[in-house]
A = this chain, B = another copy of it.
Amino acid sequence: MHRHEGHDACHAGTGDILARAEALCRERGLQFTPLRREVLEAVAEAGKAQGAYDIAERLSAPGKRVAPVSVYRALDFLMDQGLVHRIASRNAFIPCAHGHAPGEGVIFLICRTCGGVDEASSEEVEGSLGRTLERAGFTPTHSILEVEGDCGTCRQRKLAP
């Protein structure tokens, strides 16, 4: 796991994420505006899932207020491009760590101790879920899978403090 230490080890990927976003937008002919960049940066630096209002506050400074609605718009854009994910169980947002194959299912691992969110994926889970849905006669369009618990580092920290 990464991106949830609470210190700067987790910030390592921020630059990569921004670079990837910039390249991806250029490739698709979309605008990677300063606001969108700042929002993505704020999400990437946080180390844990951020609410839209948290981001707005983080980006605001005396004399320069960023309204939540602007943050929501930037987040909508970034989600459309697959650059951030929304954690439904927390009403919060995280940067997309790895470029997923489009349509690939993602599993969010949410640590209740450090608040960090990691992503996982598993063809095995996806296959068994697909079979279960088919058996139920259900045609899926979109699925969310979020697991809360303790990440490895936090669990060890609890055992040996």
The chain A residues found within 8 Å of chain B, CB to CB, are 1, 88-89, 107, 109, 111-112, 118, 120, 122, 124-125, 127-129, 131-133, 136-152, 155
Beyond A143-B146, A143-B147, A144-B144, is A1–B128 a contact (Cβ under 8 Å)?
Answer: no
List the B side residues contacting A142 at CB < 8 Å: 147-149
Which B residue's beta carbon lies closest to that of A129? B125
Would you give 29 A-B contacts (Cβ < 8 Å), ordered by A? A1-B136, A1-B138, A88-B88, A89-B144, A109-B133, A109-B136, A109-B138, A118-B136, A120-B133, A124-B132, A125-B128, A125-B132, A128-B128, A129-B145, A133-B149, A136-B152, A137-B151, A137-B152, A138-B147, A138-B152, A139-B155, A140-B147, A141-B148, A142-B149, A143-B147, A144-B144, A144-B145, A144-B147, A145-B145
